[in-house]
Structure 1
Amino acid sequence: MYKTKLNEAVKAFEEEMEQLKLDLYSLKRRAFVPKQDIPFGTVLTQEMFEIIEIKLDIPQRELLDESDIGKINTVFLPSGIPVFKMSVADEKLENDLREQEFNMFLIQTNQNKGDFIDVRILFPNGENYIVLSKKQIKDIMLEDNTVRLWLNESEILNISSAIIDAYIHPGTKIYVAKYIMPELQEAAIPFYAANEDVLDLMRKDPNIVDKASDALARELRAALERNLNSITEENISKVTTWVSEEISKNKEIIQSHELDKTGKEDAISETSDGEDAGLFN
């Protein structure tokens, strides 16, 4: 009787273990995991991911796979976390989309690659217009005040017109405004209209955009030089003196700590010598 019950218990245990193995096997998933954080709005490539096997109680069809490569992520993708299909969307590239480089915008000091921005134009009379809306910075060189954007033909025409507007109206600035949470914020509606006179000028002189771009870039650099030159020799001397004083103070503090440490070590050594002498006596 006991043996029969024992056999039944063993059999039930083995069946339960077999079921657990089957359950575990059924949870095995193939997941795409980002090697590094992927900013919102990035075109996904195979090289961005590591493919791993993981246990997940989620259908395989809901996880990212090879068919999603080339799509764009609609949310920020942290490294090390499996990506779901609902986190990406089809984003067909327009045939007239081109990468454009600009070095005449006023860009923010905390600007980063991957940021979403509006490009705006500010006229001397205070009128402020959005020229380009919610464009992602594809590349940035802060030291050169240069950004790269992907623009279609209509956007290229608009920004070209704005550059010439800024060139022929002294005091006009083209600057960028960064989106705080691009995943949640809708794109603003551009309401800058290309000036007819500017369009005529572009038709008459195909090189006018390059001339205007160069002039604005030079103006930005000149403004920086003026700001640097406005620092008087007296102020430079004050800064130099302050830095020297801070360095001297730091040296004194370090030397003081070293002397204290040496004194403590000497005191410990003397105490130890005294104890040793007492033992021998």
Structure 2
Amino acid sequence: MSWTYRHRKVLVMGTIAVSLALLIAAALYMLMQHTDQQQKQQQMKEEYERQIQQLKNEEQQNSRNVWMTAKTIPAGVAIKADDLKSVPIPVSLAPPGVITDRESIIGKNAKIELASGTPLLSSLLYEGQSIPKDLRLQEFQVIQLPSNLKPNQFIDVRIGFPTGEDFVLLSKKKVQELTGTVVWLELNEMDILQTSSAIIDAYLQGARLYALPYIEPGLQDAAVVNYPANQKVLDLMAVDPNLLETAKFELARTLRQTLDGNLKAVSESDKLRVTSGSVTVQQQLQNERTTMRQGNAMSEAQPANTPQLGESAISTNSSQSATNDSGTNSSSSETSQQPSSPAGSTSLPSGTPPATEAPPANGDQWENIFNQ
């Protein structure tokens, strides 16, 4: 084998070895580059995932789950669990009054027709029975209210007559609004008609409308309404198309006839005493005692042959007290303060000089008596 051949063979083998070394080096380099790239990608992925999770956390903190209708719900229909779906909404976009508690929605009724995807607000739902079509909010200024009455309390409105009879007019009504002596109550058609009759009774018969609050409305049942309206209102109730229920009007008519008979048996003076209160009666008694004392003092001051002026003053004041019983309180108080008025002196005999013509020696004494 020649030298050239051997030299060429060594050269080829060296070239192959170098090529293999280069290939191995390149493979190692590529492997290292690939590993480094994977590490960088993993780091980038982790960074992106961290940022995404951070954004999700921020979104959860700045948003709330709002319950919406999954389908159209007609007005007055109760909402069930299948009718709801939860949708997260940013806090800045959530409407005020939106409901986030699912349990507080189930069982309530829709006030209006709710289309699919409508956020459920507290103002769109109501609890309990459906609202009657004849329910109205009415203002009253003629009801005597307790001094400690507050809104949202429940009250009975009663009517008391001068005969002592007392009836329940409105039962367990919630005070919607309250301003001083003005109260707002929710009434149906029957309540409105009976209240109108009661107001007329209060004006004509001297009755009194007053309110009594409940102590524990949740535990106490509503009182039974037993006020009999007047005949014209009862006739209207029998034919009123706005009334939802038919009442036993014959029983109400019987009660009303009994009440009218009892009211006719009471005199006008007795009605006045009841409506005026005990203060007026006490004042009348005090005026009569004062008049009696003044008449006795005048009788003692007169000469023996002078008729008793006190008796005429007493008789005059007795007639004035009777006038006071018929309703003239102001004139009675003026008469009681002037027991020796000309009306009293006219009752003296014709031969007796009037009290103003007393002898000069007793002038100071008469003046003192008149000033008492």
TM-score bracket relative to the smaller structure: 0.3 to 0.5
Q: Which structure shows the higher strand fraction?
A: 1
Higher relative contact order (CA 8 A, sep 6+): 1
